[in-house]
Structure 1
Amino acid sequence: MAAQPLIRTKQAEGVINGMSTQVVCTEFSNYIFVVLTQYGKIGSLISVTPDARSTDISSPMFTTKVLLGKDEPLTHVCAKNLVTFISQEAGNRPVLLGLALKDTNIEAIKAMKGMIKSCQVW
């Protein structure tokens, strides 16, 4: 019987709005690491964590923090839209997101979210 790998990883590549887009999802014991890029590099590194102070379990709150890269409002919005579902599906584990995007319109974000779902390791 083959041993299960300690760290599970899946990746995908596709074209979204004419731009090559890659995603890599890796599950660690205490968090999920996702890299979503259209530049071929990690880009900004954002921590997305569930807020323990949220009193309503049906709609948890999330805190985003830019660890590396430009700390712009659009970065926080994209991060929350792209990966909050991962934290919820993974038992409220934090998500570390590497984000390097050329195209951030809503249709592209929806397509990217679908790409991330196709690489589910959580």
Structure 2
Amino acid sequence: MQALPALRPRPRKCPGGDPAMEGKPLLMSRQRTEVVCGVPTQVVCTAFSSHILVLVTQFGKMGTLVSLEPSDVAGDIGKPVLTTRVLLGQDEPLIHVFAKNLVTFVSQEAGNRAVLLAMAMKDRSVEGLKALKEVIQACQVW
């Protein structure tokens, strides 16, 4: 009796696939844990084709999910304005202000891509905000 050859999966190419994308991961993601203002904080940044997902937590959960979409203001040749919308969680004015201040630079550096921000924060101080921006910058995937 003859032994069967070992089965090996054949490499497959997607029809119409981009040769420049071959060998690259579909998603880029980085994470980091830092102590921010005395509180252990986890940051995860993931780049999708049209959005950047930024997760910032001091509770180990997603918390409030905020969408930040760039929109051009008619007649304004400056940077696009980010429109915030709470998708999940408490919709409070402070959430919108904190979200814009925290991740506006992400959208700008990523070519004005939309940002989804999931945040569960104990500390919402100005010092904490500045420290969080540095941690997010260290997780750059855009």
Matched, 1:97 2:117: yes
The amino acid that maps onto 2:61 is: K
Secondary structure of the residue aligned to 1:21 is strand
For residue 76 of structure 2, what is the aligned residue in structure 1?
Answer: 56
The answer for unaligned runs of 5 or more in structure 1 is none
Secondary structure of the residue aligned to 2:41 is strand
The amino acid that maps onto 2:111 is: G
Matched, 1:9 2:9: no
For the structure 1 residues 27 and 17, does the alpha-carbon distance in structure 2 shift closer, same or farther, using more than 3 Å as the test? same
For residue 56 of structure 2, what is the aligned residue in structure 1?
Answer: 36
Identity within the alignment, %: 55
CA contact (8 A) 1:14 1:20 kept: yes
Matched, 1:19 2:39: yes
Give 1:54 shift: 5.0
Secondary structure of the residue aligned to 1:71 is coil
The amino acid that maps onto 1:92 is: N
CA contact (8 A) 1:37 1:101 kept: yes
TM-score by length of 1: 0.94
Report which structure shows greater RCO (CA 8 Å, sep ≥6).
1
Secondary structure of the residue aligned to 1:82 is helix
TM-score by length of 2: 0.81
Write out per-residue CA displacement over residues 35-57 of structure 1, whole angstroms, 9 at most, x where no aligned residue. Answer: 00000011000001111335334
Structure possessing the higher radius of gyration over alpha carbons: 2
CA distance in 1, matches of 2:86, 2:101: 15
Write out per-residue CA displacement over residues 55-98 of structure 1, whole angstroms, 9 at most, x where no aligned residue. Answer: 33433211000000000011001100011111111111100000
Secondary structure of the residue aligned to 1:98 is strand
The amino acid that maps onto 2:58 is: Q
For residue 68 of structure 1, what is the aligned residue in structure 2?
Answer: 88
CA contact (8 A) 1:54 1:60 kept: no
Secondary structure of the residue aligned to 2:62 is coil
CA contact (8 A) 2:80 2:112 kept: no
